[in-house]
Amino acid sequence: MGKQEVNVKIEKKEWEAALEKSFKKNVETVKIDGFRQGKAPRDIYEKKLGKESLYMDAIDFALPKAYEKALKQSNLQPIVQPEVDVKKIDEDGVEVVFTIVTKPEVEIKKYKNLGIKSEKINITEEEINKGVEELQQKYAEISLKEDAIVTGDTVVLDFLGKKDGVPFEGGKGENYPLEIGSNTFIPGFEDNLIGLKSGDSKDIEVTFPKDYPSEDLKGQKVIFEVKINEVKHKILPEINKDFFADLSIEGVDSEKTLREFVKNELTIEKEEKAKEAKVESILNKIIESLKIELPEEMVTEEIHFMIKQFEQNLSMQGLSLDQFMEMTKTTHEKFHEQYRGQAEKRILQSLVLNKIAELEKIDVTKEEIDIEIPALAARYNISEEEIKKLDGVEEALSGDIKIRKIINFLLENN
């Protein structure tokens, strides 16, 4: 692993072709006396502006082929875009140095029989009761109530937060629906609403957590002026034949079969989580034994990828990244650094998985990819032919299948 410099010469013929492309682009934007815009000959253009004015765009035109040449002659596999340094440039050609960052070498001492135990799966009666209630909640009736607020009620309220008597940003809400017991507000806020009724008002003192994102508010005492507009409560359906009909779950027609269904679903969920936890433990143990230095460029690229994903999630909520950072009083540098540990872990896990695939000769066949196509087509409600025509779909499916095969191999051998 490391950085390797590769020198490439862009020869005169190729360079001249790039200069001609640059001229055709730039002449369109320049007014030269005696000629219509974009119609001046190249020799007149160069006399007026100099040949050097074409160099910057010509470099952009010539670099892709030069980079291909660099990779071909060095036989390197880059992991990020290269650094480019133009060492010499004139009308006869260009000398370029590409600094190419390659994937670090991974040496794994042991990845089988690591002695990692699978978590035991146990489903309690309490968990089954909760699962049954969650199904009831889906079909619960919502009605207004005049009685005092209790845990589980949904309160529609107005609130105004003040610190030292002054309203703070993000501390105001009107007709805000809040389920008591959801713990979506600051600790203590929801508890202080219990016992109030529709129409009541109250000043609630709470303290923001010490790890709260906003520098101005973390660890600070504030007062929320609260007014209760409505109180709603859920009326759960009885467990009877009407409820089973609403559920429309095959084989569920009694309380006994309902509880068996819930237990089975919980078992599947816990088994999946236990599997994920075991894989995480296996990878952590392998990573602990590695002696490896990750290229900073590789880490930075992964951080940028993760931030881009976060930004897309924010946009779905109507927020920009800048707005989020303003709300949380953080900087681009701090935000970048927050992702570093997670980015390094993801890179190391990917390197380990790929190395194991190489050692065990784990690959994906065309048949395995084809088997996945119908399910993917059904998920997006388009034809299998349309799925196959999508750019990169087979590559993406191949990557997913390969990871699954490596993970199954690790589970079977640990």
pLDDT tens for each residue of the chain, 414 residues long: 578 899 999 999 999 999 999 999 999 988 888 888 888 899 999 998 999 999 999 999 999 999 999 999 888 888 888 999 999 998 889 999 999 988 888 999 899 999 999 889 999 999 999 999 999 999 999 899 999 999 989 999 999 999 999 999 888 999 999 999 998 888 999 999 999 999 999 999 999 988 887 778 888 999 999 999 999 998 999 999 999 999 999 999 999 999 999 999 999 999 999 999 999 999 999 999 888 889 898 999 999 999 999 999 989 888 888 888 887 778 888 889 999 999 999 999 999 999 999 999 999 999 999 999 998 888 888 888 888 888 888 899 999 999 999 999 999 999
Number of H helices, E strands in the chain: 13, 8
Domain boundaries, the chain: 2-102, 141-235, 256-412
pLDDT at 1: 54
The CATH architecture of the domain made up of 2-102 is 2-Layer Sandwich (3.30)
Are domains 2-102 and 141-235 of this chain identical in fold? no
* Cα–Cα dist 401/411, whole Å: 15
pLDDT at 343: 95
Cβ atoms 141, 272 nearer than 8 A: no
Number of neighbouring beta carbons within 10 Å of residue 131: 19
Query: What tokens were used for 327?
Result: 């709300």
CB under 8 Å to 182, separation ≥6 — which residues? 190
> CATH top-level class for 141-235?
alpha beta
* Cα–Cα dist 242/246, whole Å: 6
List, as own/partner pairs, every contact residues 55-60 make where C-beta atoms lie below 8 angstroms and the sequence separation is at least 24, other chains included.
Answer: 55/19, 55/22, 55/89, 56/22, 57/21, 57/22, 57/25, 57/26, 58/15, 58/18, 58/19, 58/21, 58/22, 59/18, 59/86, 59/89, 59/94
Task: Give, as one character, the DSSP assignment of residue 105.
Answer: P
pLDDT at 218: 85
- CA-nearest of 48, 47, 61, 51 to 15 is 61
Enter the CATH code of domain 256-412.
1.10.3120.10
CB under 8 Å to 102, separation ≥6 — which residues? 1, 2, 3, 4, 76, 77, 78, 79
- Torsion of the alpha carbons at 205, 208, 209 and 214, rounded to the nearest 10: 180
* Cα–Cα dist 403/364, whole Å: 10
CA distances from 155 to 134, 178, 216, 230 (A): 20, 5, 28, 6
Beta pairing class for 83-90 and 154-163: unpaired
CA angle (59 as vertex; 58, 63 as ends), nearest 5: 125
* Cα–Cα dist 38/339, whole Å: 49
How many Å from the N-terminal Cα to the C-terminal Cα in the chain?
Answer: 29
* Cα–Cα dist 400/407, whole Å: 11
CA distances from 370 to 261, 361, 399 (A): 33, 20, 13
Cβ atoms 221, 141 nearer than 8 A: no
